[in-house]
Chain A
Amino acid sequence: MTSRIYGIGNDIVKVSRLKSSFERHGDKFLKRAFHDDEIVVFKQIFNENNDRAFQFLGGRWAAKESIYKALGNQERSKLNFQNIRIFNHTNGKPYVDLLDPTNQYFRELGIDTIHLAISHEDEYAISNVILETTLDKLDK
């Protein structure tokens, strides 16, 4: 099956911004952007290493923003960041797991695969995303 790139997106975020929002609003802020499962992982890391925990959050935020940007001119309200879960394989490679209705929305757009990379350097977290689609779906 032939496939092609649907869109690319990237994002960079200052990690301290996540820390500052968390310190101001706690779980209310976390629940605005992250899935409960991501929050659980954040808190596990937080108990061991405060700085690393906010790098984790920054990477997740950048990944979700990258996906939004890769979609192009789509309505943000159709995405719901909580339904875009970013996890890691056992080898550390991040991957995206979409929950409905966001998953269904991506299917309607014809997006088959989401390629994701996340990186951190002290104060910054960045992410790159490539969305892949099949030709026949786009040509319909």
Chain B
Amino acid sequence: MIRSTFSAISKFAQPTFTLQASTTYGVRYFGGDARLGEKEITERVVDVVSKYDKVAGKSVSPNSTFKELGLDSLDSADILVAVEEEFGIEIPDEEADKITSCLQTIDYIKKTPTAK
């Protein structure tokens, strides 16, 4: 049982997150796929990571892990926010915490239809 010092806290509101919902009423797609291509996603992810100041001068490939690039958890948090801004998405925390490489970032974007 967690000590009372941990539970005897006033109840604060949980953080709220709004999902980005695109309103597509009246719009129909006939076989067209608006998702970004893998090549474009890969190039843009590698570009975002390459632009991070601690990565300057290092060679970044789609297979690079953040650890190989000398990045720690705080760097990862910063880079993933930059990725969110680049693609206009919001990566849930539990997903973001699993991403530790360029490839995992690319895979997440690939399965995110709202990525722009």
Contacts and interface: CB of A to CB of B under 8 A. Distances in A.
B72 to A, nearest CB: 9
Contacts, number: 77
Contact of A95 (B5, B74, B78, B97): B5
B109 to A, nearest CB: 17
Interface residues of A, number: 38
Nearest to A61: B74
A96 B6 contact: yes
14 contacts: A21-B77, A25-B81, A25-B82, A29-B77, A32-B93, A32-B96, A36-B13, A61-B74, A75-B97, A76-B73, A103-B6, A112-B3, A113-B2, A114-B6
Interface of B is mostly: helix
Contact of A77 (B5, B74, B97): B97
B14 interface: yes
Contacts of A25: 78, 81-82, 85
A135 B74 CA distance: 34
